[in-house]
Amino acid sequence: MSEGGELERIAAALERIAPPPPPPTDWLAAPAYVWEGRHARAVPVIDALPLGRLLGVEAQARALRDNCARLANGAAAHDVLLWGARGMGKSALVRASVADVQKETGALALVQLAPRTLPTFLALIAALAEQPRAFLLFIDDLGFGADGRAEMLALRSLLDGGVAPRPAQIRLAVTANRRAIVEREDTSAALHERDERDDALALADRFGLTLGFHPADKETYLAVVAGYLAPLGLGFDAEEAMAFAIQRGNRSGRTALQFATEIAGRAGLRL
């Protein structure tokens, strides 16, 4: 067999064993998607609590929900940065806000970027640009370690400074735990630490809406627990609730929900 024939045989064999290309994404069919770098996976139902059940973050909920409604209705809307204490409902609020707007308009979809897919961000924008629908792109828990800094710089460039404009119906919601992303106090930290802070501030400046989430004080934590349990007609022991939080190392909306789940489960009920 000639060399050319051998190459053709090898190419044909590789084509037979190669996985088929992913089917085209129907960007109008689902309420949410996960972007995996080369294609999107449709999510038939958004995993979200009703917006009114996210307690202790009512002001942030109103601001984010209003911004999502503007986006869905074709009005000017901001990119959003949700930053601050872990467990205070940043990611849950993004999901709940989109789900709440969807019930009203159906015109907004959530697209979560899987980890390490930022290099394909422009391909995703191109895929969505011609769709007759609004999209909120969701980057959850933006990192700030050695790998996270590179990701942060890439996102900063993509948000503001790209040659191709981002369509008005596509906006971002990003969550981050690092408080330093919005702090502006001077510091005597080492040079590389100041550089990291400056990078974070430059990223934060590119978001039109910035929502802070702070650790809950004792009164807020207990009020959130009560808010979850009151509709079930259940009470609770405040000292036990505080001990539960101490055991987990923080007072947060997530901890309050976990404690309320424990109390409801003991009563044979569901939240």
* 106 SS3 class: coil
* 19 SS3 class: coil
Same-domain pairing of 224 and 131: no
Same-domain pairing of 65 and 154: yes
| Lookup: tokens for 256 | 């309050």
Q: Which domain holds residue 229?
A: 218-266
Residue 159 maps to a domain: yes
Residue 65 maps to a domain: yes
Same-domain pairing of 142 and 245: no
For residue 162, the model assigns a pLDDT of: 60
E strand spans, 140-247: 170-176, 209-213
Nearest to 267 by CA among 236, 225, 221, 224: 236
What pLDDT digit, counting tens, does each position of 77-102 carry?
999 999 988 889 999 999 999 999 99
Same-domain pairing of 130 and 115: yes
Q: What is the pTM of this model?
A: 0.81
Report the percentage of the chain scoring pLDDT > 90: 57
Same-domain pairing of 66 and 190: yes
Q: How many domains does the chain have?
A: 2
Same-domain pairing of 76 and 119: yes
For residue 193, the model assigns a pLDDT of: 54
Cα(93)–Cα(100) distance, rounded to whole angstroms?
10
Same-domain pairing of 150 and 228: no
Residue 27 maps to a domain: no
* Mean pLDDT score of the chain: 84
Same-domain pairing of 82 and 205: yes
Same-domain pairing of 165 and 257: no
